Chain A
Amino acid sequence: MQPSQFTVTVSDFPETGKHLIYNTITQAQVIIDDTLKSVMDTLPALPEKEEARTAVAQLKKMGFLTDSENDDSLALESHFKKIWDDTSVLRATVLTTYSCNFECVYCVEEGVKKAVFMDQKMAQEAVEYIEGKFAEHGSRSISVYFYGGEPLLNITAIRTVANGLHEFSLAHNVPLTFGFNTNGVLLTPEVIAELKPLGLTWATITIDGPRDVHDRKRPFKNGKGSFDAIIANLKAIDGLTHLDINVNFDQSNVGQIPALLDFLKEADQSSKIGKLVFTPITKTPKDREGLRPATETDCSFMTLETAQQLIALRRLAMEKGYNVDVGVHARACEMVLRQASIIIDPYGDLYGCSALAGRKEFSHGSFREEQKDAFKGMELWRRCAGCAFAPLCGDGCPFGSFIRFGDPLALNCARETMDYFVGESLKLSYLKKKRKI
């Protein structure tokens, strides 16, 4: 017997002489003492004391220990197979438009944004395509994510898709939920009132800082600030739907985010926010080509510095009383690792990843003429089979690889970042659970 390669140790936490161990496959977390850690470190020699043998057996059951490296390999294989085989939820992303009423300085959709809107016929065909995929995968529920551009610029398409799928869900007793990321200026109480009976369950609005910071980073196309319009909607929505706030950050605004958190508290909005999410701004193809000033692009999402800033923001937000998801999750790339996931753009073209949508070279046809998706089911994780974090990152993000190297299949390893990020996330998660933050 030996420690599993997927067992991560946070030493001397929550206090000296105690250690938090975490398994990236089973997601189990246990606090052990020095004695048991020594036992783990000296395996395969088994301890003599009965109490220690019992503890070892329990750790084995929870996945912290394994009989052999081969068993670890089999466990990883099984992990990804289960994700692949899980078609219970059909996940559909529908891009209603490539148009946007904002001109964010860091927009990753450069070269993709244009005044293209999904028309009625296409929206109806999207409904039929989703229904067909639902049957093909034998799914039991449908989750739809409206995306863009700014998805609410084409509320007609949202209505058509939502109404069509709602009818399907009623006729076949299929649970349906949907939501969208929106810049927030069109998310009014009226929109929520209309869409909620059809299955709207969540929305995420992005605010990047206090007024001056946000308006600099996320202005309207005409250059005017968008902050006041968003805050007015936020106040008007007042709990009508589950609402998360997303804050995109890089070096140019990370220092002003505490002021945003204070502003939202003072405006009495903090308690109405479901969850506060911080998203590192990713680079864009222009950055790769050196076509953009560095001041806006210091913060690539795979760097250790970014992870440190993210952890600091999460901790600060928790200390200020916000609900922050600090856990470590086994997440799986929709594009590669999940079969019951579809992304439809306004033309009816199909993609594996919403971030790559609009870049025709990554499309696998349209729902009128679908081709085999070359990315789907690729076992890229095999090149990371020896890594403790493989179950969490599954070989990383193809979009990140595309941004960094121009090739979605290039290995974009963030091992150093993961070492730090997973350890610190486990600490925050533990402290949150114990209500110590």
Chain B
Amino acid sequence: MIIEIVEEGFQGQDKFGPMMCCAFIFGGTGGY
């Protein structure tokens, strides 16, 4: 069964992580 809810998530899908551009998938800074 469900052992643990780690993150509820956002049902409204209205919250997104910070985004600054290139290398974005890896969470880079978007600049050197």
A279 touches B25 (CB 8 A): no
Size of interface on B: residues with Cβ below 8 Å to A: 31
Could you say which residues of chain A place their CB within 8 Å of the CB of B17? 327, 329-331
Which of A22-62 touch B at CB < 8 Å? 23, 25-33, 35-36, 51-52, 55, 58-59, 61-62
Of chain A, the residue at the smallest CB distance from B27 is A325
Chain A interface, DSSP helix/strand/loop, else mixed:
mixed
Q: Which residues does chain A contribute within 8 Å of B16, judged by CB atoms?
A: 83, 86, 329-332
Contact A430/B24 with A25-B13, A246-B29, A354-B30 known, Cβ cut-off 8 Å: no
Pair B25/A421 contact, Cβ less than 8 Å? yes
* Contact residues of A between 1 and 37, Cβ < 8 Å to B: 18, 20, 23, 25-33, 35-36
With most chain B CB atoms within 10 A of its CB, the pick from A78, A108, A307, A397 is A397
Whether A61 and B22, one on each chain, are in contact in the complex, defined by CB atoms closer than 8 angstroms, is: no
Contacting pair A329 B13 (CB below 8 A): no
Please determine whether A145 and B20 come into contact, CB atoms closer than 8 angstroms: yes
Binary interface profile of B, 1-32, with partner A (CB < 8 Å = 1, else 0)? 11111111111011111111111111111111
Smallest Cβ-Cβ distance to A306: which chain B residue: B26
Task: Knowing A330-B17, A332-B16 are in contact, say whether A27-B7 is a contact too (CB < 8 A).
Answer: yes
Docked complex Cα distance between A355 and B5 (Å): 38
Q: How far is the CA of A106 from the CA of B3 in the complex (A)?
A: 47
Smallest CB-CB separation from A417: which chain B residue? Answer: B25
Q: CA–CA, A145 to B22, complex, Å?
A: 14
- How far does the alpha carbon of A109 sit from the alpha carbon of B17 in the complex, in Å? 27
> Of A86, A181, A338, A400, which contacts B32 at CB under 8 A?
A181
What is the CB-to-nearest-CB distance from B26 to chain A, in angstroms, rounded to a whole number?
6
Contact indicator A51/B1 (Cβ below 8 Å): yes
Contact A33 B7, CB 8 Å, known A279-B26, A331-B16, A331-B24: no
Q: Which residue of A lies closest to B24 (CB)?
A: A331
**Bound-state Cα–Cα, A325 to B22, Å:** 16
Q: Cβ of B25 and Cβ of A26 under 8 Å apart?
A: no
Residues on the B chain within 8 Å of A27, using CB: 7, 9-10, 15
Q: Could you tell me if A181 and B31 are in contact, using CB atoms closer than 8 angstroms?
A: yes
* A346 at interface by CB-CB < 8 Å: no
Chain B residues closer than 8 Å to A61, beta-carbon distance: 11
Q: Which residues of chain A are within 8 angstroms of B10 by Cβ–Cβ distance?
A: 26-27
B5 to chain A: closest CB distance in Å?
5
Which residue from B3, B18, B26, B32 sits with its C-beta under 8 Å from A206?
A: B32
A147 at the interface (CB under 8 A from B): yes
The answer to whether B32 and A248 have CB atoms under 8 Å apart is yes
The residue from B9, B27, B28 contacting A63, defined by CB atoms under 8 A apart: B9
Task: Tell whether, in the assembled complex, residue A392 and residue B5 are in contact, meaning their CB atoms are under 8 Å apart.
Answer: no
User: In whole angstroms, how far apart are the Cα atoms of A18 and B3 in the complex?
Assistant: 8
A30 in contact with B6 (CB, 8 Å): yes
Instruction: Assess whether A331 is in contact with B25, with CB atoms less than 8 Å apart.
Output: yes
A348, CB-defined interface residue at 8 Å: no
Q: Would you list 18 pairs from A and B whose C-beta atoms are within 8 A, ordered by A residue? A: A26-B10, A31-B2, A31-B4, A61-B11, A62-B8, A104-B32, A204-B31, A244-B29, A277-B27, A277-B28, A278-B28, A281-B32, A330-B16, A332-B19, A333-B19, A333-B21, A353-B22, A397-B25
Interface residue ranges, A against B (CB under 8 Å)? 18, 20, 23, 25-33, 35-36, 51-52, 55, 58-59, 61-63, 78-79, 82-83, 86, 104, 106-108, 145, 147, 181, 204, 206, 244, 246, 248, 277-282, 301, 306-307, 310, 325, 327, 329-335, 338, 353-355, 392-393, 396-397, 399-400, 414, 418, 421, 430, 433
List 15 additional A-B contacts (Cβ < 8 Å) besides A26-B9, A29-B9.
A29-B5, A29-B6, A30-B2, A30-B4, A30-B5, A31-B4, A32-B3, A108-B32, A145-B30, A280-B26, A301-B28, A334-B21, A355-B21, A397-B22, A421-B26
